[in-house]
Amino acid sequence: MAVLKFRVSWEEDDAIYRDVLVKHTQNFQDLHFIILKAFEFDQKHDATFYRSNDTWQRGREISKEVYDRTYKVAPLLMEETTIGSEIIDTNQHFIYEYDFVKSWSFLIQLIQVVKNADADMTLEYPLVSRIEGVGPMQYGTKGLLGEKFADIEEKYDLNEAAEGFGEEGEEDAHASDDRENTSDDGGDDGEEDADASDDGGDDDSEDDNKQDNESGSGFFEGEAF
pLDDT at residue 163 in the model? 46
Assign 117 a pLDDT band (cuts: 50, 70, 90): confident
More confident residue, 23 or 140: 23
Q: Of 136, 170, 191, which residue constitutes the final position of a domain?
A: 136
Side-chain-side CA neighbours of residue 33 (13 Å): 10
pLDDT at residue 30 in the model? 98
- On whether both 57 and 122 belong to a single domain, the answer is yes
Scanning the chain, the segments in alpha helix (DSSP H) are: 28-38, 142-156, 158-185, 187-199, 201-215
Instruction: Examine residue 220 and state whether it is found in any structural domain, yes or no.
Output: no
pLDDT at residue 224 in the model? 34
First to last CA, the chain: 34
Average pLDDT, the chain: 77
More confident residue, 74 or 145: 74
Instruction: Examine residue 24 and state whether it is found in any structural domain, yes or no.
Output: yes
- On whether both 114 and 178 belong to a single domain, the answer is no
Per-residue pLDDT for 161 more than 60?
A: no
Instruction: Examine residue 48 and state whether it is found in any structural domain, yes or no.
Output: yes
pTM: 0.63
Instruction: Examine residue 219 and state whether it is found in any structural domain, yes or no.
Output: no
Domain boundaries, position 7: 2-136
- On whether both 173 and 74 belong to a single domain, the answer is no
Q: Of 136, 156, 180, which residue constitutes the final position of a domain?
A: 136
